[in-house]
Amino acid sequence: MPQTIVTTDTPVLAPALARGPSHTLSILVSNEPGVLMRICQVFSRRAFNIDSLVVSEGRNANFSRMTIGISGDPQGLSQIIMQVSKLIDVIHCFEHTSDNSVTKEMVLIKIQCSPSERSMALQIAEHFSGKTVDLTPTSMIVMINGDSPKIDAAINMFSQFNIIETVRTGKVVMARGEQPT
């Protein structure tokens, strides 16, 4: 599989700034084939881009939780929520904001660094509460968890090294308090 190499010649822009307004939807669906495709078609028809997608089985194996990070015109968001909610296999669709939910992501960043650069890379990882999960004489992989701006900032700081590749999870979201997501 080819690896993507990001050079340090150009600064890494925060993805949220490059795409415009971003929204996080939580969708509870029946565990049936084709549900994801039908939901994606709703976003496509309304010119919304899916930035991140996480699907996991719920506590009940008959249902799955989809957490979808999207960007697009905020004026069309309520229409999308209504259209997704009308789909047969959708139990409910809800937008989450930072006021009513906790949203986190995880990134693995593989950088090329010599032993003399390692100290600086470890300081950056420590600053972002990251953890080194692999270390070789010429490279390291750092894992960082947090909200999207923190992940964007960490990637930007590591861009002073030769970033060999990054792998970023989608957002996971949970409603605050006792209210179910």
Q: How far apart are CA 67 and CA 54, in angstroms?
A: 5
State the first-to-last Cα distance of the chain, in angstroms, to the nearest integer. 37
Residue 154 buriedness (CB in 10 A; 0-12 / 13-18 / 19+): buried
pLDDT of the residue at 3: 45
Collapsed DSSP state (helix, strand, coil) of residue 149: helix
Which domains does the chain show, CATH number per domain?
A: 19-101 (3.30.70.260), 103-174 (3.30.70.1150)
List of residues 6+ apart from 151 with CB closer than 8 A = 105, 106, 107, 144, 168
Q: What is the DSSP letter of 6?
A: B
Give me the tens of pLDDT residue by residue for the chain, a chain 181 residues long: 444 444 334 334 444 434 456 889 999 999 999 999 999 999 888 888 888 899 998 889 899 999 998 888 878 888 999 999 999 999 999 998 878 888 899 999 999 999 999 999 999 999 999 999 999 999 999 999 999 899 999 999 999 999 999 999 988 888 888 877 7
pLDDT of the residue at 1: 43
**How would you classify the pairing of strands 172-175 and 101-112?**
antiparallel
pTM above 0.75, yes or no: no
Q: How far apart are CA 97 and CA 23, in angstroms?
A: 8
Question: What is the rounded (10 degree) CA torsion for 81, 84, 88, 93?
Answer: -50
pLDDT of the residue at 46: 85
Q: How far apart are CA 135 and CA 55, in angstroms?
A: 31
53 bridge partner residues: 68
Q: How far apart are CA 159 and CA 114, in angstroms?
A: 15
Q: Where are the alpha helices (DSSP H) in the chain?
A: 15-19, 35-45, 77-86, 115-127, 148-158
